[in-house]
Structure 1
């Protein structure tokens, strides 16, 4: 991985849910090639701090390189998450954030295939990048099974509903809400995934969710080589020297996303 950080200015902070924000970056022309990316990749972000020292964290890109999206990562605040809490608490429009160029292998070789996506919580972030890209530049059919605590915790809820409405013959979205259905289990996931068992599966979320999905897909006879995993792991706490500071925050108000109509099994 390229260890060189670049200073990118934040042009927007979008409120996705109560504990998730999307950070939109301006990429200067001279860095455009270095920040060219594939759907499903991530950025490594340097987060300075005094109490716990400087840390680096990896955040998936939710934007698509095949649409008019600006470079965007989506960050969800986690309990005792020094990185996410510090980042979301300090970054404003106009702030400068130091990031490494995109990397990651959770990305399809072609956007023309038929895909099944299974995500939980902020695991939707790289999946959203792939879905938008496949709809814009691919030709296949897509299905998403997305698990969350409740309606208020669904990231990109309105965007997903809009994409499904705009592409009814290509995108199917099914939500699993713990508040109504309990924790996702292999049997329930197997039933939802069964109609799409012939597709390549892309899975992203916390460890227990990923393990349940792997069991469900194996029971359906999906070959392991057609199951692609992006699993959340404990953060890398290696400290880096602080890059030069820069940028003054702006007082621009973030946008909010409200109101969901979820399709439940």
Structure 2
């Protein structure tokens, strides 16, 4: 089933990331962490869909997304900065394996943070504590919603920066050694989202640390 959503507002989040707000059709239902494939409702674009994660509450009056734009990609994300209120999208029924499994360690890289926005917001509303966010980015200015994570109750964030030597955060990449150094307890849920290579590396590192697959929350197809 498809749904038509209309853009009502758009604001920048970082230098290349946008917060988009749409109206919420009554039959567009989802759980925190899930995504939908959507395409721009305009000639030449209706068959060019991409998966994007809803970042708003499922029962909110609006549907929100936080989307990273890639100007060098000839696709939907390249068009994001050019969208204006009134533009429409065609969205598929939401789905996805990343949903709320309780408190845990959230391993994200870049735009891979988006499924965790709604889940961590839900934990915040419910007073859940003990969440750990380990967030990899190329530079400091790439960190999506840093102020949010720094002030959210119940979340302990660590930022890992790979391409900026003068960062005040951890410089390098998330790997087995860093996970061993940062985490005292591996008997918990691990949420993983990011580019395919990042997901594979995190899965392999956790497996080497004897974390069973049953403790990993990863998108379908991993």
Taking structure 1 as the reference length, the TM-score comes to 0.73
- SS of the residue 1:71 aligns to: strand
Q: What residue number does 2:157 align with? A: 173
State the alpha-carbon separation in 2 of the partners of residues 215 and 138 from structure 1: 32
- Name the CA shift for 1:69/1:157 in 2 (closer, same or farther; >3 Å): farther
Q: Which has the larger radius of gyration?
A: 1
The question of whether the paired residues in 1 share the 8 Å contact of 2:69 and 2:81 is answered with no
Which consecutive residues of structure 2, in runs of 5 or more, have no partner in the other structure? 166-170
Q: What residue number does 1:83 align with? A: 76
Which consecutive residues of structure 1, in runs of 5 or more, have no partner in the other structure? 234-265
State the alpha-carbon separation in 2 of the partners of residues 196 and 129 from structure 1: 24
Listed one character per residue, the Cα deviations across residues 102-133 of structure 1 (whole Å, up to 9, x for unaligned) are 22121025xxx331100000000001111111
After the TM superposition, list the runs of 4 or more consecutive aligned residues in structure 1 that deviate by more than 6 angstroms: none
1:139 aligns with 2:128: yes
Q: Which has the higher contact order (CA 8 A, sep 6+)?
A: 1
Return the offset for 1:198: 1.6
The question of whether the paired residues in 2 share the 8 Å contact of 1:205 and 1:231 is answered with no
Return the offset for 1:81: 4.2
Equivalences for residues 52-63 of structure 1 within 5 A: 54-63=47-56
Richer in strand (by share): 2
Q: What residue number does 2:22 align with? A: 25
State the alpha-carbon separation in 2 of the partners of residues 39 and 138 from structure 1: 16
Listed one character per residue, the Cα deviations across residues 157-187 of structure 1 (whole Å, up to 9, x for unaligned) are 1211221xxx1xx211111011241343332
| Count of residues in Structure 1 that have an aligned counterpart in Structure 2 | 214
State the alpha-carbon separation in 2 of the partners of residues 69 and 14 from structure 1: 18
Equivalences for residues 1-265 of structure 1 within 5 A: 2=1, 4=2, 6-27=3-24, 31-32=25-26, 34-47=27-40, 48-50=42-44, 54-65=47-58, 70-78=62-70, 79-86=72-79, 88-109=80-101, 113-137=102-126, 139-163=128-152, 167=153, 170-178=154-162, 179-180=164-165, 181-192=171-182, 194-230=183-219
The question of whether the paired residues in 1 share the 8 Å contact of 2:9 and 2:85 is answered with yes
Q: What residue number does 1:239 align with? A: none
Taking structure 2 as the reference length, the TM-score comes to 0.86
Listed one character per residue, the Cα deviations across residues 219-244 of structure 1 (whole Å, up to 9, x for unaligned) are 322111111113899xxxxxxxxxxx
- SS of the residue 1:173 aligns to: strand
